[in-house]
Amino acid sequence: DEGQRLSKALAALGVASRRASEELIFAGRVQVNGVTVTMPQHAVSTSRDVIAVDGKVVQGGLESLGDGGHLYFLLHKPKGYLCSSKPAGAGARASGQDRLVLDLFEDWREGWRKRHPGQLAPRLFTVGRLDVNTTGMLLVTTDGQWCQRVAHPSSQIPKSYIVTAATRPTKAQIKKMAEGCEVDGVHVTPLRVESMEGARDGGPAHRILVDVVDGRNREVRVLSASAGVDVKKLKRVRVGGLRMPSELPIGKYMSLK
């Protein structure tokens, strides 16, 4: 549905009655593409927009964690792990290099084998990729079709990253990043780029919040480099309406279904 009122969309999705949906919106409990909306008449598209209530996605992009017995996980990816299903060479493994994200699910595989003797554990897929030096939120699933749909750039699912710069970014650098640049032969423009200096969470002056929807390879790093920002750390903290739980330790995962 194109351009319908947010309150009407929530009611149609079975979240609450139209009146109760309006109250949820007025209370600041509804987010559209990661941004809190407090006006019931705000126009949304249930085919394109990610709508969440209290941080839980109810429609758009990530809303249908399909059926059919598939499993969905949210992983806090550590630095130094590859989003690949290909085993690294013996030398690389021995030196601790090129470790695989899916290695972090060995305990889950072991549990599966105990519960299903003689059966192979379902194959796991990473939903998109984070480069080896990037940390943060990564979705992992047994649902290959859902994985491809969500990971494809055409899904236009917003993702949030925190860039920790080596030095305090200037206003000119923030502006340059916000203007976008060419990535993989296509000009991309981030949804939002802002300094986290003085942010409500007390973020340090060297941090930058970047929201993107294109999902191009190393997009945030290329945007940063185009503005002369030296990236010290890069962490993804949101995908669609799902946010990285602050209590989830690095290297650990939680089930979404």
Mind listing the pLDDT tens digit for each residue in 5-33? 999 888 877 677 888 889 999 999 998 87
The fold of 72-151+250-255 is Alpha-Beta Plaits (3.30.70)
The fold of 4-59 is 3.10.290
Burial 76-93, CB ≥16 within 10 A → b, else e: bbeeebbbeeeebeeeee
According to DSSP, the β-strands at 231-239 and 135-141 are parallel
Tens digits of per-residue pLDDT, 232-254?
999 999 888 788 888 899 999 99
pLDDT of residue 91: 47
131 flagged as catalytic: yes
Contacts of 20 (CB under 8 A, 6+ apart): none
Residues paired with 14 in a beta bridge: none
Tens digits of per-residue pLDDT, 125-144?
999 899 999 999 999 998 88
Contact 180, 187 (CB under 8 A): yes
Residues paired with 193 in a beta bridge: 210
Q: Do 72-151+250-255 and 158-239 show the same overall fold?
A: yes
The fold of 158-239 is Alpha-Beta Plaits (3.30.70)
Global pTM value: 0.71
Instruction: Parse the chain into domains and list their residue ranges.
Output: 4-59, 72-151+250-255, 158-239
- Catalytic option among 54, 131, 184, 230: 131
